Structure 1
Amino acid sequence: MSGARDRLTDALYGLGWAAVKKLPEPVAAALGRTIADIAWKRRGKGVLRLEANLARVVPDAGAERLADLSKAGMRSYMRYWMESFRLPTWSQERAAQSFSAKDLHHLTDALASGKGVVVALPHLANWDVAGVWVTRALGVPFTTVAERLKPETLYDRFVAYRESLGMEVLPHSGGSAFGTLARRLRDGGLVCLVADRDLSASGVEVKFFGDTARMPAGPALLAQQTGALLVPVTLWYDESPVMKGRIHPPVEVPETGTRAEKTSSMTQALADAFATGIADHPEDWHMLQRLWLDDLEERRT
């Protein structure tokens, strides 16, 4: 049964990549909204978890406001998928016009420093669109990490897809990713990591919307070990077809403290930057999994 389910999952994603990218863009967008609305009306585990997470982000929201946010959130999530299926067909011009960033100088100055740059993002809007914009508009290649998915053929699809967009993709598991990322940074390269959820034992506890969550230590450790600049980025959609973003000021490495203390301080600074972007655009935060430690404890009991 597991093998059959894996094959079905892979086939559905393959169908998405093959079919959606051939649709006219307005048709693909409308299809995404329809799928999102159907999923939202079914009130499955993902939708309920999204609403529970949004309740922490917008604590004063009543049931009607949370329902509206989760519906908009599912539409945003499906927009991510519809865009991602179509990204390989985008022209150089379309890619260059797909993203508009506030305070872009924080990124361009960091890249010009030659020290290497770690960009850290939460699950907001479409980080793949931002990545395509970096490779095609700025002409800067970068390295990222992808979680190994099951089935393996689906993981291979994602790697091939992102590599076709100009990204170097490393597997999250296996133990060699950190060393490769560090070498890229020492060479003055760019590393981009989605960094708002970490359930591993090496995750760093942070205060996030008033409660404790765990986020990956990797971005802060890479910056400390290589001297690279650590730059938070938050993204959002508005009514226009152009995705928006904010490049936050680089997170500084504390001058004093142990390595663990520095890592904790820097990861908290990332969490604070992420929280600012998520609070401003909660409907674009695609967090359909448990994140806060209290929620994880509830699942275990």
Structure 2
Amino acid sequence: MIQGLIYSFISAIAFGMLVIFVKLGYQAGLDAPEMMQYRFTFGVLILFFWLLFTDRAQLKARPKTLLRCAAIGIFIYPLQAILFAGAAKYIPASTTALILYFYPVAVTLLSALFFKMKIGPTMILSLLLVVGGCALVFFDAFLQQMNMTGISMAFGAMAVFSTYLMLVQVLLKDERPLRATFYVLLFSSLTYNVHGGLTPYANITVDGLLIGLGLGLVASVIAVAFLYLAIEKVGSAYASIFSSIEPVATLAAAAWLLGENVVMLQVGGAALIIAGIVLPNLRLLTIQRRLDER
């Protein structure tokens, strides 16, 4: 369980940088499809060379694995990515990330419905805290009369991401995490490159290259690989709750790197989200300690 927690935290912090890189990309004159093309292409190339020199056996995949990764990489992951990047164009990075973090509630409810996962009092309280944190973020967004297109796209990204986590648990069960990561990124890259062609590479600037590499390494390879490792260890519901540290990382990075004004409602929402993470972990650590003492 501790390993799953650590993997979730690493993935969440890496994912938290996604919207920061996207905001920097908009400032550099890039558009959302262009950034996603760089993200998945550079990401799959980085991971390819890593596996080539460290564990090339993971580059081999069964036809069943290829089909499953293609379903996620062509249809689900690019849709979530473009909605998330599109939302960041219209609303602040911190708000985009915090709206996305209603997904632990959606994933847990779907896990209870489809996987018959039991939801105990501790998890219910944890989810209520996360919902309360998200409610403060929504209230702040409406209070500031933020762009409804951006809010709608962020909500859409949350819904698609919830579906994506459920599919990963079902379709990529018993698959090696790095192999699954590589082929999901590969099919996502092919999707964007077929649509975007070679023009973005011909016109790439130094800033665009650095942003693309950041999106590829941090927000793709590290983020996705550690998410799959976390799901492998603890399942999608617990991984989603543990990963709720992401908006806090984004909030801090948005204030530090982008100079965004972080208001008290957002801080309060982040605090409730953190409480929603800490609560189930304290219980799990207590149970584990008692078992170890026996």
TM-score, normalized by length of structure 1? 0.28
- For CA contacts below 8 A with separation 6 or more, give which structure has more relative contact order: 2
> TM (normalized to structure 2)?
0.28
Structure with the largest fraction of strand: 1
Structure number having the greater helix percentage = 2
